[in-house]
Amino acid sequence: MSNNGLTTCEGHSILIVDDDLVLQELLGQFLHQQGFQVTHAKNGEEASRILPQHTPALIILDIIMPGKNGLYWLQWIKENCPHMPVLILSSQSSDQERIQGLELGAEDYLTKPFHPRELLIRVRNILRLYLNNGKKTFMIGSCLFDPERELLIRWETVPTKLTPADTQLLLFFCQNAGQILTRDAISHALHGNEHNPLDRKIDMQINRLKKRIGNTIDVSKHLQTVWRKGYRFIL
């Protein structure tokens, strides 16, 4: 977690969809060096097979590909996973294509050739909007947590509806991901001055949250009990 309290972008997964295997490899190496996890697909069909098993935090999508082009797959992505951010890449610099991509829901558009640092800046900007409190959504593994709508969303499954109490607790964990949180700190954050340091109800609330979200995410991977200290949540 960064010093300003915002969720860091690095460590999240990016799917690169591009039929240019050389560019795909170079981009993958560059983003991996910046701390991202990278998955590759050479076309939209391959990406559509990957997505149900692996939901990335961001898709980098080329426009010019054999068969159905990137604009077709952009529309497909936005229809099937509307919360998924997409950065369009294209060798075409026409205003019409750029506007069409943005109208279909792309978060940003970058024309080839481009400087890798510019790509990195655009990737980080998109992820900050989607992963930090400004957008109020978080990626927990392959799931999207939407506190505003009290939903935990996973690809092609019915969203898990959370109670207000579950939402408040999960949001606190996400906002403090990676930190060891004592029971007292969690209780104070949820209940303010009314919390009781000796009250073990917070453990019961955490156990209820585990049961509610257990069918959607791997709870043991993300919510860890730290012996004699409290809990740690991993995005």
Query: Counting every residue, how long is the chain?
Result: 235
126: phi then psi, degrees, rounded to nearest 5: -65, -45
- Compute the distance between CA of residue 23 and CA of residue 5 in angstroms, rounded to an integer: 34
In contact, 59 and 77? CB cutoff 8 Å: yes
Structural domains counted in the chain: 2
Q: At 172, list the tokens.
A: 């606190």
- As a whole number, the mean pLDDT across the chain is 83
- The number of beta carbons lying within 10 Å of the beta carbon of residue 51 is 22
- Compute the distance between CA of residue 43 and CA of residue 65 in angstroms, rounded to an integer: 7
**Which CATH number does the domain housing residue 57 bear?**
3.40.50.2300
Distances, alpha carbon 7 to alpha carbons 139, 141, 168, 183, in Å: 10, 14, 17, 22
Residues 119 and 17 reside in one and the same domain:
yes
Tell which residue, 182, 174, 96, has the closest CA to residue 138: 174
pTM over cut 0.75:
no
CA 185 to chain centre: 26
Residues 121 and 152 reside in one and the same domain:
no
pLDDT in tens, 142-175: 788 888 888 888 766 778 899 999 999 999 998 8
Can you tell me which residue has the tokens 């939407």?
146
Look at residue 2 and tell me if it is in a domain.
no
pLDDT in tens, 173-228: 988 888 899 888 888 888 775 656 556 788 899 999 999 898 888 888 899 999 88
Domain closes at, from 103, 131, 159 = 131
**Which CATH number does the domain housing residue 222 bear?**
1.10.10.10
**Mean pLDDT on 4-14:** 55
Residues 95 and 23 reside in one and the same domain:
yes
In contact, 62 and 70? CB cutoff 8 Å: yes
Q: Which domain holds residue 223?
A: 138-233
